[in-house]
């Protein structure tokens, strides 16, 4: 396995041009929009678990590459309307009805943060059961949950993601675009940033990634990223190093956010899955807990409890068989 560097861990604030609106008559291309906001989208993915590809595709589509009136005058890049609990700024535009109320933000970065929080609503909960790289499932799930009324909304998002290869961002691979030539911007093709000294080829999910804070991120069974705790670690320290939210990391590991961590402990930095990949059943050893099994196989504790009709804090007996997947009826 080789080491490479993920996208920058610090948030590079979008230039004032995007935050305050572009000069009159100047329009952003899709490539320019992606270049301005991809790092913000990746940061939101680490904090909230929303694929960066989905965030950027929605931003491109909803804001017309940042050129729509709603984006320029209200910094609203996602077409989020006012809700009864919204206490921020408001603007009014004709949409499903005349003078529909839309949220208004101080800057576009605030729009990205509100978009991430908006998708934490219960009606979108099923989306977070999907694999982080399942952009097609996310696109279809957004429509099913009522994010948009356009029946072609999923296909439009998917087309944008595949055209600009935004799904690479979900896997920790940066994208960049060739400088514009005299030909149309539609001919621009994304390029992948490759680490120096690396032989050409596809990046596998099992790659080891070195983060700028000195944290090594590995992939469990090629599908769930995790770090190994060091002496003196807690969730706040991990969150600080990885620029994530400590409460979110704790929830992904079914632990209290104030818990102390043991050196060598595997800590997932993405949601665990609904079922194990490698096997269907586990045979418990003396002193083992259901949580131990959950961490060992990367399966959500609540799912294991449900599959086995046990409480989440259950202690297991030696030889006890634990289903790692939903039992077939």
Instruction: State the DSSP string of 113-129.
Output: HHHHHHTTSGGGGGGGG
Regarding whether 174 and 130 lie in a shared domain, the answer is yes
Of 214, 223, 200, whose CA–CA distance to 242 is shortest? 214
Query: Could you report the per-residue pLDDT of 12-21, keeping only the tens digit for each?
Result: 223 333 434 4
Regarding whether 288 and 263 lie in a shared domain, the answer is no
240 pLDDT more than 60: yes
**Which tokens belong to 207?**
């790659």
The number of beta carbons lying within 10 Å of the beta carbon of residue 147 is: 21
Q: What CATH number did the domain enclosing 132 receive? A: 1.10.530.10
Q: Is there a domain that residue 203 lies in? A: no
More confident residue, 181 or 161: 161
> Please, are residues 208 and 220 in contact by the beta-carbon 8 Å criterion?
no
Of 217, 242, 167, whose CA–CA distance to 11 is shortest? 242
> What pLDDT, on a 0 to 100 scale, did the predictor assign at position 129?
87
Structural domain span for residue 309: 281-323
More confident residue, 78 or 215: 78
202 pLDDT more than 80: no
29 pLDDT more than 80: yes
With bands split at pLDDT 50, 70 and 90, how would you rate the model's confidence at 148?
Answer: confident
> Please, are residues 217 and 270 in contact by the beta-carbon 8 Å criterion?
no
Query: Could you report the per-residue pLDDT of 39-97, keeping only the tens digit for each?
Result: 999 988 888 889 999 999 999 988 888 888 889 989 999 888 888 888 889 988 776 67
**Which tokens belong to 141?**
């799930």
With bands split at pLDDT 50, 70 and 90, how would you rate the model's confidence at 178?
Answer: low
Share of the chain above pLDDT 90, in %: 33
More confident residue, 323 or 220: 323
Angle at 297 between CA 292 and CA 298, to 5 degrees: 95
> What pLDDT, on a 0 to 100 scale, did the predictor assign at position 190?
52
Q: What CATH number did the domain enclosing 250 receive? A: 3.10.350.10
Q: Is there a domain that residue 329 lies in? A: no
8 pLDDT more than 70: no
Three-state SS for 209?
Answer: strand
Query: Could you report the per-residue pLDDT of 257-288, keeping only the tens digit for each?
Result: 898 898 889 999 888 999 998 899 999 988 89
More confident residue, 165 or 180: 165
Across the chain, what does the average pLDDT equal?
A: 79
Our count of domains for the chain comes to 3
With bands split at pLDDT 50, 70 and 90, how would you rate the model's confidence at 100?
Answer: confident
Which of 138, 162, 192 terminates a domain? The answer is: 192
Regarding whether 293 and 237 lie in a shared domain, the answer is no
Between CA 216 and CA 285 the distance in angstroms is: 30
212 pLDDT more than 60: no
Torsion of CA 120, 122, 123, 129, to 10 degrees: 70
> What pLDDT, on a 0 to 100 scale, did the predictor assign at position 26?
66
> What pLDDT, on a 0 to 100 scale, did the predictor assign at position 203?
33
């Amino acid at each position: 396995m080789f080491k490479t560097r993920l996208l920058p861990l610090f948030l590079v604030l979008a230039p004032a041009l995007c935050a305050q609106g572009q000069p009159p008559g100047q329009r952003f291309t899709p490539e320019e929009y992606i270049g301005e906001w991809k790092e913000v989208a990746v940061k939101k993915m680490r904090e909230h678990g929303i694929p960066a590809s989905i965030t950027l595709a929605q931003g491109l589509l909803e804001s017309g590459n940042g050129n729509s009136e709603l984006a320029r005058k209200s910094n609203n890049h996602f077409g989020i309307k006012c809700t009864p609990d919204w206490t921020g700024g408001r603007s009014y535009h004709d949409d499903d009805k005349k003078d529909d109320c839309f949220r208004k933000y101080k800057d576009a970065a605030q729009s990205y943060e509100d978009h991430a929080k908006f998708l934490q609503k219960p009606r979108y909960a099923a989306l977070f059961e999907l694999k982080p790289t399942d952009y097609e499932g996310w696109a279809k799930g957004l429509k099913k949950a009522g994010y948009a009324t356009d029946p072609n909304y999923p296909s439009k998002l998917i087309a944008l993601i595949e055209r600009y290869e935004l799904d690479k961002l979900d896997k920790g691979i940066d994208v960049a675009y060739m400088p514009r030539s005299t030909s149309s911007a539609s001919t621009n093709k994304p390029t992948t940033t490759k680490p120096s000294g690396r032989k050409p080829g596809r990046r596998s999910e099992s790659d080891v990634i070195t983060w700028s804070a000195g944290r090594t991120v590995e992939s469990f069974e090629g599908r769930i990223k995790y770090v190994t705790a060091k002496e003196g670690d807690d969730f706040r320290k991990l969150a600080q190093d990885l620029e994530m939210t400590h409460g979110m990391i704790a929830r992904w590991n079914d632990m209290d956010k104030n818990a102390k961590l043991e050196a060598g402990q595997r800590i997932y930095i993405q949601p665990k899955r609904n079922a194990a990949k490698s096997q269907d059943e586990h045979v418990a050893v003396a002193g083992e807990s259901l949580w131990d099994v959950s961490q060992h196989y990367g399966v959500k504790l609540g799912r294991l409890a449900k599959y086995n009709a046990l409480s989440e804090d259950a202690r297991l007996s030696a030889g006890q068989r634990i289903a790692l997947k939903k039992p077939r009826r």
